[in-house]
Amino acid sequence: FLRSLDEQRAAEAALDSKRRDLADMVRAANLKKRELETEARRYATRVRETRKNEDTFKRTLEELSASADELQKMMNKISSQEWVLPTAFVPLYERRGQLPWPLEGKVITVFGFERHPDFQTMVMNKGLEISPGKDKSLILSVHTGKVVYADYFQGYGNLLIVDHGMTYYSLYGHCAEFLVAVGDMVRAGQPLAMVGDTGSLKGECLYFEIRYKTKALDPLQWLKRR
């Protein structure tokens, strides 16, 4: 009886510890949610101002340029870290022009230089922005790989980077919620995240890049024609 009583007390103590850990996790999640909501409101205000004011637009471009430079530095660091490829592995370059689309929807920003319709300012886009189709919210991996980054990144919102081996990468920005974590192995077509508008100046959409080493490539040359 005494042994059973001790075991019960130990189980109750472990349960109390788990409850406290869970409460801490809930508080942390709520704090993160409030931070993201605040960031979303800030960006919504920035979007309205950007559409009206040329000075705000230019200042936003400077901030995005700085963010792009920081992303370039991070890609330099990531590309210097190698991981062992699975034995049955198809290189990404063999799937050029055949990759599945990461999100069903309409392309609203294309790769390359883009002129702003009102301010006539030229902007270099290193990826695509895809507005989700009706009832489409899942962002899918375009190829087998390993998740090497999943966190908030200034200018890109919630950003996820998948290493496809041989220094090829795919990047997925403006996510609302991640469905995978750093270190996870993913396959082509696997859900990675939910589409969102974090860090976006164009509302809810996916920012998508393909890179070889640190060089951004035109994703339309890699995705299936539709």
> Positive or negative CA dihedral for 147, 174, 205, 79?
negative
Q: Which of 208, 188, 204 is nearest to 132 (CA)?
A: 204
For helices 54-79 and 2-52, give the axis angle rounded to 10 degrees: 130
Over residues 113-138, the mean pLDDT reads: 80
Q: What is the pTM of this model?
A: 0.70
pLDDT at residue 219, as a whole number: 96
Of the two residues 44 and 27, the one the predictor is more confident about is 27
Say what percent of the chain tops pLDDT 70: 81
pLDDT at residue 105, as a whole number: 94
Q: How far apart are CA 74 and CA 147, in angstroms?
A: 14
- pLDDT surpasses 70 at 159: yes
Q: How far apart are CA 204 and CA 165, in angstroms?
A: 30
List, in sequence order, every residue forming a beta bridge with 212; answer none if it has no partner. 168, 215
As a whole number of Å, the end-to-end CA separation of the chain is 71
Over residues 73-81, the mean pLDDT reads: 80
Of the two residues 55 and 93, the one the predictor is more confident about is 93
pLDDT at residue 211, as a whole number: 94
- Are 178 and 150 contacting, i.e. CB atoms less than 8 angstroms apart? yes
Query: 185-186 and 145-153: which strand pairing?
Result: antiparallel
Over residues 46-75, the mean pLDDT reads: 68
pLDDT at residue 186, as a whole number: 94
Average pLDDT, the chain: 83
Over residues 30-52, the mean pLDDT reads: 66
Query: 112-115 and 105-109: which strand pairing?
Result: unpaired
pLDDT at residue 121, as a whole number: 66
**Which H helix or E strand runs over 69?**
helix 54-79
Cβ burial of 58 (10 Å; 0-12, 13-18, 19+) is middle
